[in-house]
Amino acid sequence: MTALDVAFAAVGLITAASGLLAVTTRHVVHAALWLVVCLGAVAGCYLVLGAEFVALVQLLVYVGAIVVLVLFALMLTRAPIGPNSEISTSRLHRVLAGVLGAGVTALLAAALVPIAGPAVERHDTSTTQVAEQLFGTWVWPFEILSLLLLVALIAAMAVSRMTRPEQAADEVQAAQVQAAQTPSESA
Closest C-alpha among 57, 53, 59 to residue 11: 59
Number of residues lying near other proteins (CB under 8 A): 29
36 binds other proteins (CB under 8 A): yes
Burial class (CB in 10 A: 0-12, 13-18, 19+), 34: buried
Q: What is the DSSP string of 158-178?
A: HHHH---HHHHHHHHHHHHHH
Q: How far is the CB of 98 from other proteins (least distance, A)?
A: 29
Residues 6+ apart with CB under 8 A from 163: 171
33 binds other proteins (CB under 8 A): yes
Task: Please state, in angstroms and as integers, the Cα–Cα distance from residue 106 to each residue in 38, 86, 87, 99, 102, following that order.
Answer: 22, 32, 29, 10, 6
Please list every residue from 62 through 81 that binds other proteins, using CB under 8 A.
Answer: 63-65, 67-69, 71-72, 74-76, 79, 81
Binds other proteins (CB under 8 A): choice among 88, 126, 129, 176: 126
14 binds other proteins (CB under 8 A): no
Residue 65 or 155 having the CB closest to other proteins: 65
7 binds other proteins (CB under 8 A): no
Tell me how far apart the alpha carbons of residues 155 and 180 are, in angstroms, rounded to a whole number: 33
Q: How far is the CB of 39 from other proteins (least distance, A)?
A: 11
Q: Are 32 and 72 in contact (CB under 8 A)?
A: no
56 binds other proteins (CB under 8 A): yes
Q: Would you tell me which residues interact with other proteins (CB under 8 A)?
A: 27, 29-30, 33, 36, 40, 52-53, 56-57, 59-60, 63-65, 67-69, 71-72, 74-76, 79, 81-82, 126-127, 186
